[in-house]
Structure 1
Amino acid sequence: MPFRCPRPADRAERLARRRNRKMARSAHAYVRGNTGRFYEWLAASAGDSLPAGPAIWICGDCHVGNLGPLAARDGAVGVQIRDLDQAVIGNPAHDLIRLGLSLASACRSANLPGAVSVRMVEALLDAYARAFGRRPTPIAPPSAIEVVMRQALARSWKQLARDHLSHTRPRIPLGSRFWPLSQRERRAIGEIFDPDALPTLAARLGLAAPDESVAFSDAAYWVKGCSSLGRLRYAILLEVGAADGKRRMAMVDMKEAPPAAAPRYEDAPMPRDNAARVVRAASALAPALGERMAAVRLLERPMAMRELLPQDLKIEPDRLPPATIDAIARYLGQVVGLAHAGQMDADTRHRWQRELRSSRSKVVDAPSWLWRSIVDALASHERGYLEHCRRHIATIERR
C-alpha cells in the first residue's frame, strides 16, 4: 500500500506515534530520544554529588548519535558535536555523563558483559581528561570511526541528492520523509527566502559567494530525528548560479530551536532567543558547523538553519562493533574534551583536569562519581523504557 502523506493538520498526531514507536525499539533508542528523562534523573538523583566544572558551552544532549563528521567551509572534515539544540553554558560533567550513558546503554543493548562497561568508562574519562593537557596527543580514530570518515570524505552532492531528492527534477519528493507544507508555512518560508533577502542569507550560511545568484526552488516538512519529532523542521532547496553560468543545488536544514532542558549556570550570559543560543553554542563547540549557521524566526518561532553538506554524517551507535566500544569511547571522549577545552584558558584547563583525575576511585580505575552516575542513570532509563513500552503497546491495542 503506497504511503500517504498526512495533511498538515494531522501532522502532530502522526509524529507523536512515530516518535513513540522509534523510542520503543530499544533501551538505547529510548536514551537517545529522551533528553528530558536524563535531566529529570539528574535533578532528582545526582545533584550536588557531581564536580562543578567551569562555566562553558556544553552540548546538553551529548549522546553518540549527536557526534559525527562535519565539513568546514575550507573543505576540512572532522568528527565534532553535530546537534546543539540543548546547548547551554553549564557544567561539562553533564556532557560526560550523557555520553557515558549512551555508550553504556549500547553495551547493554548488545548484551555485553559488565566488565566491558567498566573498561569503557575508564577509557572515556581518561581520554576526556587528557584533552585538557598542554599538548594532548591526538587519538587515532578506531576502525569503526574511520569507516564513517571514509564514507563522509567520499560523498558528493550527487550522493546527497540521491539520498534526499528527486532524480528527475530539482524538487523535494514527498513521501515518508518529506511531507507537504500548509499554505501558511509556504508563505512564511517564502518571506524568509525572498529574492531580495536571499543573497544576504546565503552569505551568512556560507553557501554562495558574493558574485553568485541564489534562487528558491522548493521546500517540505522534514520528518527527521527522534527527540526533535513534533517540532517544526523543514528542508529547503536552493539553486546557486555562478558567474560562469554553471548552476548547482544547495539544501538547507531549518529546525525549530526549543527551550533547553539542560540546566544552565544561573549567572551565565546566554542569548534569550533559542535559535541564537544554538548558533552561538555551535560556534564554540563545533566551529565547522557554527560558521555556516544562521538564526531566523518563522511563524513566531525561533529557527536555526544550516546548509546540509554531503560530508555531514552522524555516527550510528547501533552499527558500531561492540568489541571496540572502549576504543570508540576513548576517541569520542577526546572529541568532547577538546570541544570543552577550546573554551578554557590554561589555568582553567589545568584545574578541571586535576578535578577529573582526583575523583578517580582507588579501588576501581574509574571515577566514583562518573561510574555511580552512569549506573544510576542506566537503571532509571531502563525503568523508563519499560514503562514507555507498556504505554506504547496499550495505545496500539486501543486503536
Structure 2
Amino acid sequence: MIDIPQTIARFNAGRDPERLAMKYKAMRTSPFVFLRGTCHLFYERLPQHKVLDDAPPVWICGDMHLENFGSYKADNRLIYFDNNDFDEACLAPNLYELVRLLTSVLVGAGDLKLSRAQALALCHTAVQAYSAALAFGKARWVERETSSGMVRDLFDALASRTRAAHLDRRTTLKGKSRLLKLDGKKALAVSDERRAAVTQFMQQFAAGESDPDFYRVLDVARRIAGTGSLGVDRYVILVEGKGSADGNYLIDLKEALPSSVVPHVHTPQPKWQTEAQRVVEIQRRNQAVSQAFLHAVEFDQRSYVLRSLQPSEDRVALQDWNGKLPRLEGVVNSMAELGAWAHLRSGGRQKSSIADELIAFGNRTDWQVPLIELATQCEAQVAADWKTYCEAYDRDAFAV
C-alpha cells in the first residue's frame, strides 16, 4: 500500500521551498495538473500489463502529455512544433509513452470540457495516428508549412511576434538596457551569491563558444515554469545576444535529475556520464532539429541542461477548440505522430528497436484496444490519488 502524501513529499524533498509551494498549490486545482506534477507516481502506479511488456523498446521522452508539446526555435533558426520535455527520457517499451498521453487525454477531459465519448474518441485517434505513422516507417516533422488547424494557429501567432515583443513579456526596458521582470509568475529574485555563481558559469561557458560576447550576462532570476519540475534548481538568464536592447536573448539553465521512469522499467539503460547528457542526447535523437543552444553542462558540481528559453505561451491553446472536436483531433493526431516519428528517428541506437521492428508493430492492431483500456485504469488511479492528495493538502500536510 503506497502512502501517497509521503511518496510525493519524499520525491520533492530538497527543492526550492518557494517554488515547491507553488507546485503543491497548482496540483490541488485539478486531476490533470496533478498528473502533470506526479510523473514519478504515474509510473509507480502503472499496472503491469502484457500489452506493455510485449512492446518494442524505444527512446521515450518519458512524460508525454497534452501540455508537453510546443513550438521552439531550433539551432537552424527555424521554428518547429514538437515534444519539448525530456527530463524523464530513457529507453523503455514504446507504449509507456503512449499510455501516458492517452491517460492525459482522459484525465484532462474535465479541464477541456470534453464528454466521455469525446475523450475516448481522441484516444482512438491517437493510437491510430501513432500506429499509421510507425507503419509508414519514415520520420517527418511539423513546421509552419506542414501544420494545420490549431497548430497552424500557433505558428501564425508566432510569425507576427517580434523579438522585442517577446522580450517585453519578461523584461523591463530602462533606457537601452533590459532587466528581468520579477513578477512571481515567471521569475523570482535570486540571491547575490547565486547571481554571481551563474554569471561566472556563463563566462566560463562562453569562453568555449565562437562568440563569447553573445553570452554576456545582463540579469539572472529563478525561473518559474512547468509543473513537475517546479522547485528544481532553475534559472532564466538574460544575455547580450545580438545587441541591447532588442537583440538580447533568454537562456534557460535547469538542473537535470534522474529519470523517474527508469526505476519502473525492466529495459537495461546505458551508462550516461551525467543526467544532463541523458536528457540532451535523447532530445537530439528524437527531435528532427535540436532546440537552440542545447547543451549538457556542469554547474556548481552538478549536472544541468542549458538551452534557449521556451515560453509556456508557445503551446497550443487547447481550450480554444470551441466545441469542434476535429480541431482537437488534429492536435492529438500531430502529438501521436510526433511520438512515432521520434521513435523511428532514434531507432537502432544503443539497443532501441530498428525501423523494421517498429513498422511491424505499427501494422499490428491487437495492442490498441487493450492500451486504451489500460489508460482508463490509469485515469481511475489518478483520480483516486488526487482525491487522497487533496485531503492531505487541505490539512496542511504539504506545508513547506
Provide the rounded CA distance (Å) in 1 between the counterparts of 2:371 and 2:213.
51
CA distance in 2, matches of 1:321, 1:261: 35
Residue type of the partner of 2:279? V
Tell me how far 1:141 sits from its aligned partner: 4.1
- RMSD between aligned alpha carbons? 3.1
1:287 shift after superposition: 4.3
Q: Give the alignment partner of residue 30 of structure 2, picking from 18, 26, 46.
A: 26
Cα gap change, 1:309 to 1:148, in 2 (>3 Å): same
TM-score between both structures, scaled by the size of structure 1:
0.83
- Structure 2 residue aligned with 1:64, among 63, 66, 76? 66
Contact 1:87 1:260 (C-alpha < 8 Å) held by counterparts: yes
Structure 1 residue matching 2:298: 3-state secondary structure? strand
Deviations 1:344-370 (CA, angstroms, capped at 9, x unpaired): 26x933433433443437xxxxx1221
Among 130, 153, 167, which residue is 1:147 paired with?
A: 153
Which residue of 1 is the match for residue 338 of structure 2? 335
Whether the 8 Å contact between 2:172 and 2:179 is mirrored in structure 1 is: yes
Alignment of 1:221-370 (within 5 A): 221-240=222-241, 248-263=247-262, 266-290=267-291, 292-308=293-309, 313-321=314-322, 323=325, 324-344=327-347, 348-360=354-366, 367-370=368-371
Tell me the CA shift for residue 78 of structure 1.
Answer: 1.9
CA distance in 2, matches of 1:393, 1:319: 32
Q: How do residues 100-111 of structure 1 correspond to structure 2 at under 5 angstroms?
A: 100-111=102-113
Q: Tell me the CA shift for residue 197 of structure 1.
A: 4.3
- Post-superposition CA distance 1:223-258 (Å, at most 9, x none): 22211111101011111357xx99821111001111
Task: Provide closer, same or farther for how the CA distance between residues 319 and 259 of structure 1 changes in structure 2, counting only shifts above 3 A.
Answer: farther
CA distance, structure 2, for counterparts of residue 184 and residue 260 of structure 1: 29
Q: Runs of 5+ in structure 2 lacking a partner?
A: 1-13
1:5 corresponds in structure 2 to none
Whole-angstrom distance in 1 between the partners of 2:115 and 2:187: 41
| TM-score under structure 2 length normalisation | 0.83
Amino acid at match of 1:184: E
Aligned to 2:201: 192
Equivalent pairs, count:
373
Conserved 8 A contact 2:132-2:362:
no
> Against the structure 1 CA distance between its residues 226 and 349, is the aligned structure 2 distance closer, same or farther, given a 3 Å change threshold?
same
**Of 164, 175, 178, the match for 2:183:** 175
* Gap change, CA 1:313 and 1:265, over 3 Å in 2: farther
Equivalent pair of 2:131/2:362 in contact (CA under 8 Å): yes
Q: Is 2:167 aligned against 1:161?
A: yes
8 Å contact from structure 1 (residues 239, 247) kept in 2: no
* Cα pair 2:72 2:291 within 8 Å, conserved: no
